[in-house]
Amino acid sequence: MKLLVVGASYRTAPVAALERLAVAPADLPHALARLVAQPYVSEAVLVSTCNRVEVYAAVSGFHGGLGDICAVLAESTGVPPAALADHLYVHFDAAAVKHAFRVATGLDSMVVGEAQILGQLRDAYHWASGADTTGRLLHELMQQALRVGKRAHSETGIDRAGQSVVTAALGLATELLNSDLAARPALVVGAGAMGSLGVATLSRLGAGPVAVTNRGADRAVRLAESYGATAVPIADLTATLSTVDIVVAATAAPEAVLTREVVTRALADRNPSRGPLVLLDLAVPRDVEPGVADLPGVQVIDIDRMAALVANGPAAADAAAVERIVATEVDAFLNWLRGADVAPTVAALRGRADNVVTVELGRLAQRRPDLTDDQRDEVARTVHRVVQRLLHQPTVRVRQLAAEPGGDQYAALLRELFDLEVPQTSPVGTVPEVVVPEAVPPLGGAAEDPSTGGQ
């Protein structure tokens, strides 16, 4: 079984493409079920955040698994696979492990070092576990990725600045307003994880008064009470917009909440001398309708603009330290994976030995019917002990050797020497990273086998 990551992020896709790919929490069980229902996919975890949508999968073959995942994504987005491929990237085996660990540590985030991705990965793993779409391989990968992410944050200063997508967006808002956010009235639309971070960050920066609105009023009230903010009904959204300078929009709504009509009405009642109304759209799909950015007196900062403007924060030394942690942890995971790959060969060898012993004991019973039951039992125990002792050192050693680079050859030799029928596995870590536009034609076409070096 092989690891495969297929995804799109702010690096490879505009927010419009990410919107098409985004999977709402309520739709995750169905999407996961569709993935593992495919012929080549046995396990799946789906990560869908404001700046990335990724499928982590255990597959029985590279091309089959890639075709299956692309088919499900194409089906859910309504985008032809060929067009979808323009925004996708693919990581296979060792590259997939490295990517997972870089994501968990924040190295692949828009704001390098942000810690929110750990919670998002944990949620994705929780959803997949609940949907029973994770097995041994993805359980181990996700658990290790979360551990590596925590290690990076505890052992380095990559998150020393406390940066997040919210803090970076508010930093851009400060530049647009030509002042800090102290005493600036603000509104947070959405009471989920990102909305909570928005309220907390605005409160820490001294913005205020801060209002919170959400379709589920109870969540808005609880969040507001936690930070001394005010909960307002979603029905009062337009009126509240006219009284604030900054809006953090981070809902999970499938359609825009801040439409051109809503914002236009709010602007009509807003004093233009207060400066621009800054709308920070941190949701995918977008909370702010695209046409809103054309309105006079409005500044919209969405994921596309964030990607173009935000400066990555950690010091080079901290980022380099995390890269070293990732490299070490990738090697350790690959060693474990190689050891796991040799286990079926060892099991097959011991099974072959047990079969041989059983056959020979049966022959002995036919040739020596005069042996008592006690004598037969003693002979059987003796033969089994001899076989187990003979196999012990070779099987221990082959596990050790298999954990080293190139160690798959030892398991292959065992299979050849003893004519063992074990499903073949290709070496882990020998396949280069594959870029989808070059590797994946429209479904039904032929793609070059990565094991031959094709990218």
Domains of the chain and any CATH numbers:
2-161+432-452 (3.30.460.30), 165-309 (3.40.50.720), 335-417 (no CATH)
pLDDT at 427: 40
pLDDT at 68: 95
pLDDT at 307: 74
pLDDT at 429: 40
Distance CA 162, CA 171 (A): 12
The tokens describing 143, both together, are: 């658990």
pLDDT at 452: 35
50 given a catalytic annotation: yes
Q: Enumerate residues 6+ apart whose C-beta is below 8 A from 252.
A: 24, 25, 190, 192, 283
The DSSP H or E segment spanning 169 is: helix 165-177
Which of 8, 50, 246, 257 is the catalytic position?
A: 50
**DSSP line for 364-427:** HHHH-TTS-HHHHHHHHHHHHHHHHHHHHHHHHHHHHHHTSTTTHHHHHHHHHHTT------PP
Q: In this structure, which long-range contacts are made by residues 298-304, counting pairs with CB atoms below 8 Å and at least 24 apart in sequence?
A: 298/263, 298/267, 299/173, 299/176, 301/169, 301/172, 301/173, 301/176, 302/15, 303/10, 303/15, 303/18, 303/50, 303/51, 303/110, 304/10, 304/14, 304/15
Query: E strands along 103-234, which residues?
Result: 186-189, 210-213, 230-231
Query: E strands along 131-245, which residues?
Result: 186-189, 210-213, 230-231
Beta bridge partners of 189: 213, 249
Q: In this structure, which long-range contacts are made by residues 316-319, counting pairs with CB atoms below 8 Å and at least 24 apart in sequence?
A: 318/113, 318/156, 318/157, 318/158, 318/160, 319/107, 319/112, 319/113, 319/158
The tokens describing 86, both together, are: 């323009």
In the sheet that 246-249 helps form, which strands lie side by side, from edge to edge?
A: 230-231, 210-213, 186-189, 246-249, 277-281, 298-301
Distance CA 61, CA 1 (A): 8
CA angle 449, 143, 332 (to 5 degrees): 65
139 C-beta neighbours (distance < 10 Å), count: 16
Q: Which residue has the tokens 């330290």?
A: 321
The DSSP H or E segment spanning 350 is: helix 316-367
Distance CA 249, CA 263 (A): 13
Contact status, residue 170 vs residue 280, Cβ threshold 8 Å = yes
pLDDT at 445: 33
Distance CA 199, CA 123 (A): 21
Q: Fill in the DSSP letter of residue 42.
A: E
* Residue segments in the chain with a per-residue pLDDT below the cut of 50: 425-455
The DSSP H or E segment spanning 28 is: helix 28-36
Distance CA 91, CA 436 (A): 9
Torsion of Cα atoms, 279 then 222 then 204 then 104, to 10°: -80
Find the DSSP H helices in 286-315: 303-309
pLDDT at 405: 65
CA angle 22, 27, 33 (to 5 degrees): 105
Distance CA 245, CA 209 (A): 11
Q: Is the dihedral of CA 57, 60, 61, 66 positive or negative?
A: negative
How many residues make up the chain in this entry?
455
